[in-house]
Chains A and B, each alone.
Chain A
């Protein structure tokens, strides 16, 4: 069975500093990888996803994630965070050609301080 581990439950960072949210997965078959963001008391929104091709994927609001197959990782980065980035971030996977069931990590709460 597949699993997703987000190594940090909380990441405090000052505004305009860089940040990395770590995600590692375990699976015996190929996976697709997703990052979702959840603002307080709201549903989840897709931030970015890796399906194939370039291992570096970017979102429209400055986040990027890099798929590293050898390290089974999909870390999320942003070079300069804003107060508005304060939210919970979830890494998730689906199995290639095996349906659309997402397996989520436990989430990382990003807290951006002024």
Chain B
């Protein structure tokens, strides 16, 4: 089945620790995205990638980093510089970047909690 997988489902971070969230898609999509979801605030864009080996900062990139070495993979690292990392993180992909009409397909999410 084609789709987006995210792992782990739950992740615990200790103070000062970097953690990496995995996102893999087998939809052959060029564009991929990372969103952060907090209660009552909707989703906010962290990073996006239009194509492999390229990525851009979104609205709330501080304290996060990404890589896009393979078309199907777009891991997100939450660094120790992110002071309030507790949230639900969603990865998405779309066929292209284009004119804004492409549907984004979402993974099941990773819930990050701070110990």
Minimum Cβ distance to chain A for residue B35 (Å): 8
Could you say which of A32, A43, A107 contacts B90, with CB atoms under 8 Å apart? A43
B103 touches A46 (CB 8 A): yes
Range class of the B interface residue count? 20 to 34
A43 contacts B99, CB within 8 Å? no
Asked, given contacts A90-B43, A104-B42, A107-B42, whether A97 binds B99 with beta carbons under 8 Å apart, the answer is yes
The interface size bin for chain A is 20 to 34
A45 to B105, CA, bound (A): 7
Question: Which chain A residues border B101 with CB–CB below 8 Å?
Answer: 32, 49, 51, 94, 100
Contact with A along B98-115 (1 / 0, CB 8 A): 111111111111010000
B109 and A101 contacting across the interface, CB-CB below 8 Å: no
> Does A44 have its Cβ within 8 Å of any Cβ on chain B?
yes
Main secondary structure, interface of A, reads loop
Of residues 22 through 61 on chain A, the ones whose CB sits less than 8 Å from some CB of chain B are: 31-32, 34, 36, 41-46, 49, 51
Minimum CB–CB distance from B69 to chain A (whole Å) comes to: 21
Decide: A43 and B40 in contact? CB cutoff 8 A.
no
Q: Please state if B104 and A100 are interface contacts (CB–CB under 8 Å).
A: yes
Once A32-B101, A46-B103 are accepted as A-B contacts, the answer to whether A102 and B45 lie under 8 Å apart by CB is yes
